[in-house]
């Protein structure tokens, strides 16, 4: 169980990590990076699965179903478009 201040510490350290990881990115990678981070929050899928797995009423199940489908779309779509974009970046020297 992650509680109280431990949760706060995780939150703070993750926030700094995100900031540092992105802070010196060349402009040419802004799109793939945004799209890549868009993919990473597709991790919401695991939460949606857990929520749906614990659903007991039909309403909860229906909302859970929508959540899982949306989350899977986020993860898969985010991956496919990021991968497609990064595939294209080539340089004059050292192709590929």
Partner 1 sequence: MDILIQISYFAAAILFILGLRRMSSPLTARTGIHWAGAGMLVATLITFFWPGMENYLLMTAAIFVGGVAAWWTGQKVSMTDMPQMIALYNGMGGGAAGAIAAVELLRGEFHSGIFLTLAVLGALIGSISFSGSLIAFAKLQGLIRKPLRFPLQHALNLLIFALAVGYGGMLVVTGDTSGINLLIFFGLALGIGILKTLPIGGADMPVVISLYNALTGLAVAFEGFVLNNAAMIIAGTVVGSAGTLLTQLMARAMNRSIGNVLFGSFGGEQGVEESVEGAMKPIDVTDASIMMAYAERVIIIPGYGMAVAQAQHKIKELMDVLLARGIDVKFAIHPVAGRMPGHMNVLLAEADVPYDRLYDLDEINADFGRTDVALVIGANDVVNPMARSNPDSPIYGMPILNADQARNVIVIKRGQGKGFSGVENALFFADNTRMLYGDGQAMSGELISAIKQL
Site for partner 1 in 32-71 (CB under 8 A): 32-57, 59-61, 63-71
Query: How far is it, in rounded angstroms, from Cα 12 to Cα 28?
Result: 28
Q: How many residues bind partner 1 (CB under 8 A)?
A: 82
Q: Does residue 9 bind partner 1 (CB under 8 A)?
A: no
Q: Does residue 15 bind partner 1 (CB under 8 A)?
A: yes
Tokens for 45, please give them.
Answer: 């899928």
Query: How far is it, in rounded angstroms, from Cα 14 to Cα 8?
Result: 10
Q: Does residue 30 bind partner 1 (CB under 8 A)?
A: yes
Query: How far is it, in rounded angstroms, from Cα 47 to Cα 95?
Result: 40
Q: Does residue 5 bind partner 1 (CB under 8 A)?
A: no
């Amino acid at each position: 169980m992650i509680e109280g201040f431990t949760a706060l510490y995780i939150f703070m350290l993750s926030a700094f990590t995100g900031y540092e990881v992105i802070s010196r990115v060349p402009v040419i990678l802004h799109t793939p990076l945004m799209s890549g981070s868009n993919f990473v929050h597709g991790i919401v899928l695991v939460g949606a699965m857990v929520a749906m797995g614990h659903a007991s009423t039909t309403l909860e199940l229906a909302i859970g179903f929508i959540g899982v489908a949306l989350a899977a779309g986020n993860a898969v779509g985010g991956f496919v478009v990021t991968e497609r974009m990064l595939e294209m970046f080539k340089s004059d020297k050292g192709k590929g």
